[in-house]
Amino acid sequence: MQDERVATFRRVEPLAVASLILGTLSFLPMFGWPMLPIPIAGAIVGAMGLRQIANFPGQSTGRGIAIAGLTLSVVLGLLGVGFYAFFVVYDCPIGYSRVNFAELQPDKETGEVIPQKIIDLDGKFIYIKGYMYPGRRSMGIQEFVLVPTRAHCKFCQRALASTEMIKVTMVSGQLADFDVHMVGVGGKLKIDHQEALRPLGGMPYQIEADIFR
């Protein structure tokens, strides 16, 4: 007798492939909540693919692909959500270094003009919160001064030190409206060391701002 071997063709389950594709994109929630449906869909599609393969073992294959897609969707999805939530809690956009006005102040005892930590950020993108110094315009402002507190004004309190003022220039066609509440500014930091030598009135810190909150 002659044995006859019949090869049975089994297709790769499309749901498994779709799950793998969605799984590789499941890190995208790190850029914002609108991307959250991607890992959710990847996990659902992966589970559906596994069920489809189990129900039709002789017709479909791709169990490993479906498991990989499901795993990536869950793991990368959680990492992406956690990463984004971290920056939401600290209120700092992705790609920006969070600083505060206290870190901008030099140590007078050592005679430094600009803190080394801030010098290292020269030309890099930072995010800082403060108050808009009152100016002549209240709407459509392209340039303004950011200060650490509302307690300072032209006629009261002590004068501002040069390192307590940041000249903010809105870029990319953006404009800002005056707000008495604390605002957040993000952009490229530029440092003028000569301005820092002026004890009052100078502004060594400048930000080319593309974020205003």
| The length of the chain, given as a count of residues | 213
List, for residues 74-130, the tens digit of each pLDDT value. 999 999 888 877 766 667 787 899 999 999 998 888 888 899 999 999 999 999 999
Alpha helices in 56-184 (DSSP H): 63-89, 101-104, 116-119
φ, ψ of residue 180 in degrees (nearest 5): -75, -15
pLDDT of 10 above 60: yes
Q: Enumerate residues 6+ apart whose C-beta is below 8 A from 18.
A: 45, 49, 69
**Side chain identity, residue 30:** M
Residue 77 is encoded by which pair of tokens? 């999805």
List, for residues 63-72, the tens digit of each pLDDT value. 899 999 999 9
Mean pLDDT of the chain: 85
Confidence band for 201, pLDDT divided at 50, 70 and 90:
low
Give the burial class of 87: count Cβ atoms within 10 A of its Cβ; 0-12 exposed, 13-18 middle, 19 or more buried. middle
Alpha helices in the chain (DSSP H): 14-24, 37-55, 63-89, 101-104, 116-119, 193-196
Residue 63 is encoded by which pair of tokens? 């169990």
Query: Which position has the token pair 């890099």?
Result: 124
Three-state SS for 184?
strand
Query: Which position has the token pair 């600083």?
Result: 99
pLDDT recorded at residue 108: 81
- The structure's pTM equals 0.59
Domain at 97-212: CATH architecture: Beta Barrel (2.40)
pLDDT recorded at residue 90: 64
Closest C-alpha among 197, 107, 204, 209 to residue 163? 204
List, for residues 162-195, the tens digit of each pLDDT value. 888 999 999 988 899 999 998 999 999 999 988 7
CB 164 within 8 A of CB 147: yes
Closest C-alpha among 191, 21, 205 to residue 122? 191
pLDDT of 21 above 80: yes
Q: Report helix angle 14-24 to 63-89, nearest 10.
A: 30
pLDDT recorded at residue 1: 45
Listed in order, the ranges of the chain carrying CATH 2.40.50.870 are 97-212
pLDDT recorded at residue 38: 93
Closest C-alpha among 55, 36, 33 to residue 15? 55
